[in-house]
Structure 1
Amino acid sequence: MNYDLIVIGGGAAGFFTAINVAENKPNLKIAILERGKEVLSKVRVSGGGRCNVTHAEFIPNELSKNYPRGEKELKGPFHTFMTGDTMEWFDRRGVALKIEEDGRIFPVSDSSETIIDCFLSETKRLGIEVLTNHSAKKIKIETQGWALETTQGNFTAKKLMIATGSNPKIWKLLNDLDHSTISPVPSLFTFNIKDPRIKDLPGVVTNASVKVKNTKLSSEGPLLITHWGMSGPAILKLSAWGAVELNALEYNFEIRVNWLQHYATQEILEELKGLKKENPKQHVYKYAQFELPKRLWQSLVVASGIKQDTRWADLNKVQLNTLSEQLTQGVFQVHGKSTFKEEFVTAGGVNLKEINFKTFESKKYQNLYFAGEVLNIDAITGGFNFQNAWTGAYIAAKAIASGD
Structure 2
Amino acid sequence: MNQNFDIIIVGGGAAGFFTAINIVEKNPTLKVAILERGSEVLQKVRISGGGRCNVTHACFEPNELVKFYPRGEKELRGPFHQFGAGDTIEWFEKHGVALKIESDGRMFPVSNSSQTIIDCFLEATKKLGIAVLTGQSVQSIFKQEALWKIETQTENYLCEKLVLATGSNPKVWEMLQNFGHAVITPVPSLFTFNIKDVRIKELPGVAAQATVKVKDTKLISSGPLLITHWGMSGPAILKLSAWGARILRDKNYQFTIFVNWLNDADSEEVEKKLKDLKQEHAKKSVSKKSPFELTNRLWESLVIASGIEAETKWADLSKIQLTNLINQLVNGTFQVNGKSTFKEEFVTAGGIDLKEINFKTMESKLHKNLYFAGEIVNIDAITGGFNFQNAWTSGFIVANTI
**Which TM-score band applies after superposition, normalised by the shorter structure?**
over 0.9
Q: What's the offset of the Cα at 1:114?
A: 0.3
Q: What's the offset of the Cα at 1:70?
A: 0.1
Match of 1:71 among 67, 73, 90: 73
Letter matched to residue 191 of structure 2:
F
Q: What's the offset of the Cα at 1:264?
A: 1.1
Alignment of 1:328-347 (within 5 A): 328-347=330-349
Post-superposition CA distance 1:116-157 (Å, at most 9, x none): 000000000000011111011111112131001111211110
Does structure 2 retain, via aligned residues, the 8 Å contact 1:10–1:34? yes
Residue 383 of structure 2 corresponds to residue 381 of structure 1: yes
Match of 1:239 among 228, 238, 241: 241
Separation of aligned partners in 1, 2:153 and 2:183: 24
Residue 394 of structure 2 corresponds to residue 395 of structure 1: no
Aligned to 2:297: 295
Aligned to 1:325: 327
User: What is the aligned-residue identity percentage?
Assistant: 66
Q: What's the offset of the Cα at 1:273?
A: 1.0
Alignment of 1:2-401 (within 5 A): 2-400=4-402
Separation of aligned partners in 1, 2:213 and 2:107: 29
Return 5+ residue gaps in structure 1 as ranges.
Answer: none
Q: What's the offset of the Cα at 1:190?
A: 0.3
Letter matched to residue 392 of structure 1:
S
Separation of aligned partners in 1, 2:105 and 2:272: 36
Post-superposition CA distance 1:230-268 (Å, at most 9, x none): 000000000000001101111000000000011112221
Count of matched residue pairs: 400
Is the partner of 2:65 in helix, strand or coil? helix
Letter matched to residue 177 of structure 2:
N
Separation of aligned partners in 1, 2:70 and 2:289: 40
Separation of aligned partners in 1, 2:92 and 2:82: 17
Letter matched to residue 148 of structure 1:
I
Is the partner of 2:54 in helix, strand or coil? coil
Q: What's the offset of the Cα at 1:270?
A: 1.8
Letter matched to residue 156 of structure 1:
L
Letter matched to residue 279 of structure 2:
K
Does structure 2 retain, via aligned residues, the 8 Å contact 1:280–1:312? yes
Separation of aligned partners in 2, 1:249 and 1:140: 39
Letter matched to residue 24 of structure 2:
A
Does structure 2 retain, via aligned residues, the 8 Å contact 1:133–1:152? no
Return 5+ residue gaps in structure 2 as ranges.
Answer: none
Letter matched to residue 49 of structure 2:
G
Separation of aligned partners in 2, 1:58 and 1:33: 33
Separation of aligned partners in 2, 1:386 and 1:148: 27
Separation of aligned partners in 2, 1:226 and 1:398: 45
Separation of aligned partners in 1, 2:125 and 2:4: 18
Q: What's the offset of the Cα at 1:170?
A: 0.5
Post-superposition CA distance 1:356-377 (Å, at most 9, x none): 0000000001110001000000
Is the partner of 2:177 in helix, strand or coil? helix
Separation of aligned partners in 2, 1:38 and 1:367: 27
Q: CA RMSD in A?
A: 0.6
Separation of aligned partners in 1, 2:18 and 2:398: 10
Is the partner of 1:284 in helix, strand or coil? coil
Q: What's the offset of the Cα at 1:63?
A: 0.1
Does structure 2 retain, via aligned residues, the 8 Å contact 1:37–1:133? yes
Post-superposition CA distance 1:195-217 (Å, at most 9, x none): 00000101001100000000000
Separation of aligned partners in 2, 1:257 and 1:151: 52
Separation of aligned partners in 1, 2:134 and 2:298: 49
Letter matched to residue 206 of structure 2:
V
Separation of aligned partners in 2, 1:356 and 1:102: 33
Letter matched to residue 45 of structure 2:
V
Q: What's the offset of the Cα at 1:306?
A: 0.7
Does structure 2 retain, via aligned residues, the 8 Å contact 1:95–1:114? yes
Q: What's the offset of the Cα at 1:290?
A: 1.1
Does structure 2 retain, via aligned residues, the 8 Å contact 1:39–1:132? yes
Does structure 2 retain, via aligned residues, the 8 Å contact 1:8–1:163? yes
Q: So what's the TM-score if we normalise by structure 2?
A: 0.99
Letter matched to residue 293 of structure 2:
E
Displaced runs of 4 or more, over 4 A: none
Separation of aligned partners in 1, 2:189 and 2:209: 22
Letter matched to residue 393 of structure 1:
G
Separation of aligned partners in 2, 1:128 and 1:291: 54
